[in-house]
Amino acid sequence: MVVNSEIISHKRHGFDGEKYIEMQKNQILDRLANFSGKLYLEVWWKFLRDPHASRVLPWFLIDSKQTIFYDLRDKIEVLYCVNAEDIISNKKFADQNLDFSEYVFHNLTVIERILWVKPIIVINKIDIANMFDLVLDFERRFQKKQYRVFERYKISSYPYNVKEILSDNGFGLDDHIPTDKNLVLVTWAGHNSWKLSTCLWQIYLDNEIDIKSGYAKFELFPLKNKGLEHPVNLAYELAVKDSWNKLVLDTFHKEEYWQNSVVNQKDLDNFEATMDIIRNIANHKNYMIKYKSPTDMVINTTSFCIIDEESVKKASLEEIERRQSAE
């Protein structure tokens, strides 16, 4: 096995990368078909290229997401979410020797080059009283580069006070983003960038102009049906520990379907509040009303593409050891 800072070359197949691309792509299209309007697809972690997955899933194709989205490029637009607090702090990306605006521009140009889609920037969590001038400078900088930029304002009670969220002082403060395509990928620059909020906000405003849209989440990890202690899930949890995102069992899924499923702690914590918002912005015919658990919201076919369980476990344990030795 050859190791460098990003990729491990596995000799033994443990994962069917081609099957994964087809399954995941078909599941996205199936979910899209459930909505007469648009599907806002939240993409969490590693938008186009996933070296972590290539290390823990032997023969996972590192550019799988890129391939999936490229194949769907005629159907997609991209909303790129930025946390206004990161603009103010000028969050540094030391590993790439970039400040925040440089990092954002780098990511935007990569997306545009690969997918032939010019992303729309959404600046979230703006506090007019304390940060507006710096945010406006950031916005103008990207407008000069011919990017469309939209502003969204901080809602202190999000996601728990539905009445305020759906009021003129909540989602009502924000402008609707016009999009031409039916599959809208919602991705991010940094943690806590309000991707889910952006999706719900757009669905709310779509509904006001009679566009019946919906939400789903694109995931590669965790493996839903393999248990909390599976090495792939342990390696993933270690990889995302800086986001304070633990893995837990989906109690809603267990209660509804009598099946165990592994989900991110944040998704479990926010599920009831998210569904309260959804029930207030979508009528009873909307497919989102069928979501009974965080698991139902997710499009994740990873488990079905593992072809050698022992090879995957071995690779994942090696990844855990590699990360622990690097600390």
Give yes or no for a contact between 32 and 183, defined as CB atoms under 8 angstroms apart: yes
Higher pLDDT, residue 323 or 95: 323
Over residues 265-283, mean pLDDT: 94
3-state secondary structure (DSSP) of residue 153:
strand
pLDDT of 6 strictly over 80: no
Percent of the chain's residues with pLDDT above 70 = 93
Residue 128: which pLDDT band, with cuts at 50, 70 and 90? confident
pLDDT of residue 276: 97
pLDDT of residue 2: 35
pLDDT of residue 228: 96
Give yes or no for a contact between 204 and 158, defined as CB atoms under 8 angstroms apart: no
Instruction: Return the closest-CA partner of residue 38 out of 176, 149, 231, 141.
Output: 176
pLDDT of 3 strictly over 50: no
Domains (ranges, CATH) in the chain?
2-320 (3.10.630.10)
- Residue 17 Cα distances to 203, 207, 231, 252, angstroms: 33, 37, 19, 31
Per-residue model confidence as pLDDT tens digits over 28-80: 999 999 999 999 999 976 788 899 999 999 999 999 999 999 999 999 999 99
pLDDT of 4 strictly over 80: no
Give yes or no for a contact between 52 and 46, defined as CB atoms under 8 angstroms apart: yes
Per-residue model confidence as pLDDT tens digits over 77-98: 999 999 999 999 887 765 667 8
pLDDT of 216 strictly over 60: yes
